[in-house]
Amino acid sequence: MSDLIERVEVLVSRPARNYVTLRLTTRDGIVGLGDATVNGRELAVASYLRDHVGPLLIGRDPGRIEDVWQYLYRGVYWRRGPIGMAAIGAVDVALWDILGKRTGQPLYALLGGRVRDRLATYRHALGWDLPALLEQVDAHREAGFDNIRVQTGVPGLDIVYGISSGPVYEPAGRGAAPVEETWDTDSYLRHIPGVLAAVREHVGDSVGLLHDVHHRLTPIQAARLGKAVEPVGMYWLEDVTPAEDQEALRLVRQHTTTPLAIGEVFNTVWDCQQLISNRLIDYIRVAVVHAGGISHLRKIFALAEVHGVQAAPHGPSDVSPVSLAASIHLGIATHNFAIQEYMGYPDLVHEAFPHAWHVAEGHLQPGDEPGLGVSIDDDLHNPEDYEPAYLPVARRRDGTLTDW
């Protein structure tokens, strides 16, 4: 049969930053793309795809998307986890891309069609101090964005999550080992409510303000923060506690009405089943790339819909334009999809992955090309460019390791 999968390629490349991209080609020349980037563990997922998954795909029917998902998930016995689920996710997205191209339809049409005219997004504003932060907030407002994530420096700390010396933030540092940062929760908790209140005062009521705590607080500290910022009227506080302790959020919830978002490090519906079904969160942040692709995200979002939880996927620069495309198509076709993070990319990344998705009037649009609407410029995906790059680690002032 001419439509079976004939070629499986795993591209590890560095157009400005590391990405792992899966390219499947059918015998009749249809190409499907998937993103398998796991920041700081790129070669592990590349090997998983090349050595264990790729050989199983040759000669398979790309139209059996759900069956391939189940085969790669149930057939492996060692289930879940970021590496395996990113690999499965990449295959799943590539198969949806092939289906779109074979039928000549943009992916959102195959996912049920538009439920909204445009997709809300949020951008990042970062500044060491309040004037620098407000400058970036104003720039996003002027560019038409209504929802802004605000991250700022903490007095006494040299490096803080979400902040960089330049305007573009890249969490992964180049080099053979992670950068070590010092973290001080008390200083952070003393400082951040005042910053968020000052930003609210500056922008007025109509702007959605988001803040990422990056897993750093104990449940009672998170509860205190949630209460302290209630007058600010946050869109959400993200990742207030370490993500694997689902019960922690029950305690936070009992103390505050500030909306809670979590889930960028979750890989399956089973990682967030309790959080969703017990209504302990307001937004689920799972990403196409890290939680098993479009097929699995649809299941997570369906569970969330039943429980009044909204979808708000992760979208930093390490989620490639391929995954972002998948998320935007899903978002335009999913009723309980609230907002898509869009951190933005260096120019070279846009050139390396030419894409139909785009920003229009402060919102995201998927474009109308068949499938994902993303291609690859092979000249910008040179395997020799790959360089080890790790996410930082953090230690408290006494030297104990803490969540980064």
Kindly determine how many residues on this chain lie close enough to bind Mg ion according to the rule CB under 5 A: 2
Q: What are the structure tokens assigned to 132, written together? A: 């620098």
CA distance 358 to 355: 8
Q: Please list, in sequence order, all residues whose beta carbon lies within 8 angstroms of the beta carbon of residue 270, skipping any fewer than 6 positions away.
A: 80
* Contact status: 318 vs Mg ion (CB under 5 A): no
> Which of Mg ion, ligand KDG, none interacts with 373 (beta carbon under 5 to 8 A by kind)?
none
C-alpha distance from residue 119 to each of 211, 291, 330, 367 (Å): 20, 21, 10, 12
Q: Please list, in sequence order, all residues whose beta carbon lies within 8 angstroms of the beta carbon of residue 365, skipping any fewer than 6 positions away.
A: 118, 119, 328, 332, 357, 358, 359
Q: What are the structure tokens assigned to 183, written together? A: 């973290």
User: By Cβ distance, which residue is nearest to Mg ion?
Assistant: 212
Nearest distance, CB of residue 50 and ligand KDG, angstroms: 22
Q: Indicate the length of the chain as a whole number.
A: 404
Nearest distance, CB of residue 151 and Mg ion, angstroms: 10
| Near Mg ion in 177-236, by CB under 5 A | 212
> Which of ligand KDG, Mg ion, none interacts with 39 (beta carbon under 5 to 8 A by kind)?
ligand KDG
Among the listed residues 19, 48, 122, 161, the single catalytic one is 161
Tokens 């360089």 belong to 387
Q: Please list, in sequence order, all residues whose beta carbon lies within 8 angstroms of the beta carbon of residue 43, skipping any fewer than 6 positions away.
A: 12, 386
> Which of Mg ion, ligand KDG, none interacts with 146 (beta carbon under 5 to 8 A by kind)?
none
> Which of Mg ion, ligand KDG, none interacts with 271 (beta carbon under 5 to 8 A by kind)?
none
As beta bridge partners, residue 127 has 152
Q: Considering beta carbons, is residue 86 or 343 the nearer one to ligand KDG?
A: 343
The amino acid occupying position 303 is L
Nearest distance, CB of residue 261 and Mg ion, angstroms: 8
Q: Considering beta carbons, is residue 263 or 373 the nearer one to Mg ion?
A: 263
Query: DSSP 3-state helix, strand, coil percentages of the chain (rounded to 5)?
Result: 40, 20, 45
Summarize as ranges the residues that interact with ligand KDG (CB under 6 A): 39, 171, 212, 214, 264, 314, 316, 318, 341, 343, 391
The long-range contacts involving 277-282, CB below 8 angstroms and separated by at least 24 positions, are: 277/303, 277/307, 278/250, 279/307, 279/308, 279/309, 280/246, 280/249, 280/250, 280/253, 281/249, 281/309, 282/236, 282/309, 282/310
| Near Mg ion in 268-307, by CB under 5 A | none
Annotation says 214 is catalytic: yes
Q: Considering beta carbons, is residue 242 or 367 the nearer one to ligand KDG?
A: 242
Among the listed residues 124, 140, 214, 314, the single catalytic one is 214
Nearest distance, CB of residue 344 and ligand KDG, angstroms: 11
> Which of Mg ion, ligand KDG, none interacts with 130 (beta carbon under 5 to 8 A by kind)?
none
Q: Considering beta carbons, is residue 92 or 264 the nearer one to Mg ion?
A: 264
Q: Considering beta carbons, is residue 211 or 253 the nearer one to Mg ion?
A: 211
Contacts with Mg ion, residue ranges (CB under 5 A): 212, 264
- Give the active site residues: 161, 214
